[in-house]
A = this chain, B = another copy of it.
Amino acid sequence: MRIAELSRISGVPVPTIKYYLRENLLPPGELTSPNQASYGDLHVRRLRLVRALVDLAGVPVAQVKEVLDGLDSDTLSLHDQIGRAHRAITARRQLASHPPEAATDAATAQVEALIDSRGWKVAPDAPALTTLIETIAVMRSLDQDHLVGLLETYADAVEKFTTLELAAVTSRPDRATPDQIAESVIIGTILGETLISTLRLLSQESTSAHRWTQPPGTGTTTP
C-alpha cells in the first residue's frame, strides 16, 4: 500500500508517518519507484505500537526509539531491553520536589529495607529507585505517613504481577519465538502499567460514588 493508505488504516497523519520514517521509528517501505514506496501489514502494526507507547503510555518519542531499537537489536540481552523500557516509563518523571533531607534519608532507609527483605536484585542506579524514594519522602513531608504504610501491600501485589506476567509471556500456547517473547515483555511492561492505572481509577471511582457524592457539610460525619 502507499503512504496515504497506510495513514488511513493506521489513523496516523501522513506528516507524522514521514517523521517516524525519518527518525527510524518505522522501517522504510519497499521502493517501487525512485519517489514512491510501498508499505505492508508490518508497518501498520509498528505504527500501532508506536502510537500506543506515545499516547496511551505517555512515553516520549526519543524513548520509544530506544525501546524499538532494543527490540530490533540482535545483541542486547532481554534484561537490557527491559532496562530501556523502564527508562522509557520513568523518563516522563522528574525529580524536583526537594523534600527535606531528613525525609529523604528516612525514605532511603525504608526502601533499602524493603528491597532487602524481599531479596530483590536491583541495580543502585535503577531509574525507578530514586523516583520511589523521592515519592515516599514527599509523602512523608506532606504528613501522609499513613499512605506510606501501604508500601508492603503494593509490593506484595507487584511481586504477584511479575510472577504472572512472566508466566503469561513465557508459557504462550503458540510457542512464541524469543523475539516474540521479548516484544511481549516490553509491551506488557509499558502498557500493563496503563491497564493497572486505569483499573485502579475505576475501582476508586466506584467506591467514591458509593460514599462521597454528597456535598460537604450535609449532615454526615464522614466527608
Give A contacts to B, CB under 8 Å: 10-12, 45, 48-49, 51-52, 55-58, 74-79, 82-83, 86, 89-90, 92-99, 115, 118-123, 126-129, 131-132, 134-136, 138-139, 141-142, 144, 146-147, 149-151, 153-155, 157-166, 168-170, 172, 178, 181-184, 187-189, 191-216, 222-223
Instruction: State the Cβ distance, A57 to closest chain B Cβ, in Å.
Output: 8
A203 touches B45 (CB 8 A): no
Distance of A199 Cα from B128 Cα, bound (Å) = 8
Q: Is the interface of A mostly helix, strand, loop or mixed?
A: helix
One complex includes copies of this chain to the number of: 2
Report which of B77, B161, B181 forms a contact with A203, defined as CB distance below 8 A: B161
- Across-interface contacts of A127 in B (CB, < 8 A): 201
Report the Cα distance A26→B64, complex, angstroms: 35
